[in-house]
A and B are shown apart, each in its own frame.
Chain A
Amino acid sequence: MDTTLEKLKILADGAKYDVSCSTSGVERKNNGKIGSASAAGICHSWSADGRCISLLKILFTNKCVYDCEYCINRRSADVSRASFEPKELARLTIEFYRRNYIEGLFLSSAVEVSPDYTAERIMNCLKLLREEYGFAGYIHAKVIPGVSPEILHRIGLLADRLSINIELPTKESLGLLAPQKKPKNIFTPMTQITQTLTERRQLKGPGTMFKNQDIYSTASDLRYLEPEGENLTPGDGSLLDLTGRPLAIHKPGKRGKEKFAPAGQTTQMIIGATPESDRQIVKTSESLYRNFKMKRVYFSAYIPIADSPLLPGRFTAPPLAREHRLYQADWLLRFYNFTADEILDEKTPFLDLELDPKISWALRNIEKFPIEVNKASLEELLRIPGVGTISAMRIVRQRKLSAIQFDDLKKIGVVVKRARYFITCRGRYYGGTDILPEQIRQEALDSEGIRNQLLPKADHVQISMFNPIVSQWGAGIAQRAGTVRSFEADALNVAEGVRSYTGDVQNFSGAGKERIHGGLPL
């Protein structure tokens, strides 16, 4: 136990800079012995930095043969080293999971000996979890660049989500800071994952929006183990006197229908270690969504941990505000139908740190405003600052019943103090006398005290309730609703319980029809 404690400390420390902890997007029934995954994602705790903890985020090993400049685990760094045994980590995961500390495992790793050596050990650990323990919880595995296609495929069959870090926004920066990581070694496995997902018609989520791909839902029939009858050995019927807990039932080769990375593929890049502009970063993410149908691209503000002439100095503050704005820009890409070129053009290569990119865009395109909320299309509504995907949908629904009054907007969920500059409601403008971009900008800044709010919100958008849901009915309902495309349907869940969402949408389809209830209702 002591050694496990030591390893846990070293290997959690090495993994903590990884930003992605999202567990959402895959619903998995418990068909094994233990565990299930909830499409809505569940946060189990929040660390002192305010980030949600949902997964045991850990490195398999930090004994690295590579020497990436930005990494605390690089070969030349002077840190304590440790590696888990596959068995040890599997056990730890299960024990944490049983106690409801975590929702699953996020397993990353340094490169010990070689990519394949490490990947194989990771694979063995996941195999133990799935097959020996019958674990049906969430597993996110980082793929090591340069891994062989066979091992990658087998890991993909065990994990829910795969990711390979693109690390830096450009090839040049990668060459400079991570010379042993070749772009080819990153993109080959990425392509393999996208291809496998495409062949298996498993692609879903934001990345699919660019090519009008059909959305196939795979979540409902997911399983690794055939349901088994002999799960438990009942004792004399009383709860506490049961004897024996058959945890390990090994059923080699019987894994039911195998799914390959049902929660899709994501990637991550480091922000602020290299001189790329925000425009470059947003364009890179757009192309990752386009080409690899990524589920998510994560950004991680660079935290200086080592002295290097190639990197910002030790005491440079991590660019958290910038990271936050990039996530907002990413949100515009994924859910609001913006293109990278609209978000940032050549004249404005950097995001305004003080203002939401949606307001910035609106102020640059002020001639498109004000927009009449009772007439605008869903697409137009989505471009109004202060109007989110839920409120836009609600506006469209509700105005079929009766024209929307200005006072209704707040209850619908519109951030009125922001939106009022950009809309008219039943022909009236509520934003003051004129639309003056400079003035609006000033008022928006004053009213929101944005400077004080520049806290890392990256996890804010990841936490379960606020997370896009892609589930079987997400796509189905979107089709029924007609106007809503699948990726918008995803976003509809933002900030609302899954249930109330289904309710709304159900009602939406019937909203036009008059229902008459005469007499007693019963």
Chain B
Amino acid sequence: MFKTLAGQERNGFMVDYLYDGSFEGFLTCIYEHYYNEKASGIYRSDFYQASILVPCRTVETEENKATRVYDAIENKISREDLKRAYRVFLSSAEEKENKLLQYLRLGFQKGSAVSLLHSNPIVFEVQQIEKKVTVEMHRLKGLVRFSALVKQAPGLVDREILYCKVEPDHDVLEIIADHFADRLKSDPFIIHDKIRNKAVIAQAGSWYIAGFTDADLPGLGELERDYRDLWKRYFETIAIQERINPACQKRMMPVRYWKNLTEFR
């Protein structure tokens, strides 16, 4: 795989970088690429398969190096490309780090014009990945379904908390958190990414991300089932029989999301 991406660059000094999987770690790798030996590829250390052909080196995440790259992308390429890089980083695309490396290198040559080079294969691919992440992020804003859980504590008034489970293709939790945190200021809520075992935990407009399992969740609120029924009933009623078009429904709302949707449960 790395041959097509970085093969043409090899000149004997190249080495695979291994990093900790964080965005900062990735940015540190970019820094090293420019100030030390050239990277033949960037890989998460926990997924890396060593090869005898290419030496590898673990790059420790360093905040000041990461910050410099962060600022450089923003100032020398564009703010938009910084966001693009971040979104692509959150994707589950294969070899995303290497694609981003190529893209950023091009960006440092061309400046903000890089995003206009639609016919360049690297630009095209990075933009396609970004689109997938953006689409999922957008989709999820609609496809999250909260349930009201009730925490009962002796001596205290029962407290409702909104909870939902999602299984997104990409790691989009943190880019949707603001949206819901702003929206639900008066409700504490948890959005739980079941695949990655983490969750956004939010209250009164602020949020944080934490590792999470649903083991200790409280039970459903008293009216929760009623509202689910109401919604289901609404969902069924609103379809116009004369226009039934399941293919269209599936196209717009891929079936893989259905299992976490109240209306299909």
| A interface with B by C-beta (< 8 Å) | 1, 4-5, 8-9, 12-13, 16-17, 29-30, 33-36, 38, 40, 42-54, 56-57, 92, 95-96, 98-101, 103, 134, 137, 231-232, 234-235, 239-247, 303, 317-318, 320, 394, 397-398, 401, 405, 407-408, 411-412, 455-456, 463-465, 497, 499-500, 502-504, 506-507, 510-511, 515, 517, 520-522
Contacts and interface: CB of A to CB of B under 8 A. Distances in A.
A499 B239 contact: no
A213 to B, nearest CB: 30
27 contacts: A12-B238, A16-B238, A38-B141, A45-B235, A45-B261, A50-B251, A51-B239, A96-B227, A103-B142, A137-B183, A231-B185, A232-B203, A235-B159, A240-B151, A240-B153, A240-B218, A242-B188, A243-B159, A303-B242, A303-B243, A320-B243, A455-B248, A463-B252, A465-B138, A497-B131, A500-B127, A521-B108
Given A408-B119, A412-B118, A522-B34, 10 more contacts: A45-B253, A46-B252, A50-B247, A95-B223, A240-B188, A241-B151, A241-B153, A303-B242, A507-B116, A521-B34
A100 B134 contact: no
Contacts of A463: 252
A345 to B, nearest CB: 31
A25 B135 CA distance: 19
B24 interface: no
Contact of A96 (B143, B182, B231, B245): B231
B142 A241 contact: no
B63 interface: no
Contact of A241 (B159, B187, B231): B159
Contact of B244 (A48, A239, A401, A506): A48
B72 A521 contact: yes
With a 10 A CB-CB cut-off, give which of B218, B237, B249 has the most chain A CB atoms: B237
A27 B124 CA distance: 30
Contact of B237 (A13, A303, A317): A13
Interface size class of B (residues with CB under 8 A): 35 or more
Contacts of A43: 142, 252
Interface in B143-162: 143-148, 151, 153, 156-157, 159-162
A241 B150 CA distance: 10
A50 B245 contact: yes
Nearest to A11: B237
Interface stretch (B44-52, B80-88, B90-98): B80-88
A243 B161 CA distance: 11
A405 B68 CA distance: 38
B57 interface: no
A407 B119 contact: yes
Contacts of B135: 465, 497
A405 B119 CA distance: 10
Nearest to B77: A521
B116 A401 contact: yes
Contacts of B229: 5
B249 A47 contact: yes
Given A30-B183, A411-B119, A499-B134, A53 B113 contact: no
B12 interface: no
B190 to A, nearest CB: 8
Given A44-B143, A50-B243, A517-B108, A99 B185 contact: no
A320 B230 CA distance: 30
A101 B151 CA distance: 22
A507 B182 contact: no
A42 B138 CA distance: 7
Contacts of B115: 500, 503-504, 507
A100 B146 contact: yes
A411 B118 contact: yes
Nearest to A320: B243
A137 B179 CA distance: 13
Nearest to A458: B243
B153 A1 contact: no
A82 B204 CA distance: 38
Contact of A51 (B153, B157, B243): B243
Interface in B182-228: 182-188, 201, 203-204, 218, 223, 226-227
Given A239-B161, A515-B110, A46 B184 contact: no
A34 B185 contact: yes
A263 to B, nearest CB: 18
Given A42-B142, A56-B234, A411-B124, A500 B157 contact: no
Nearest to A520: B34
Top 8 A-B residue pairs of the complex, sorted by shortest distance between their CB atoms: A50-B248, A503-B80, A521-B108, A515-B111, A49-B243, A50-B245, A48-B239, A47-B239
Contacts of A96: 227, 230-231
A463 B243 CA distance: 18
B207 to A, nearest CB: 11
A35 B187 CA distance: 11
A522 B31 contact: yes
Contacts of B162: 98-99
A8 B226 CA distance: 12
A421 B151 CA distance: 65
A208 B226 CA distance: 45
B102 interface: no
B238 A47 contact: yes
A40 B108 contact: no
A44 B236 CA distance: 14
Interface in B27-69: 31, 34-35, 68-69
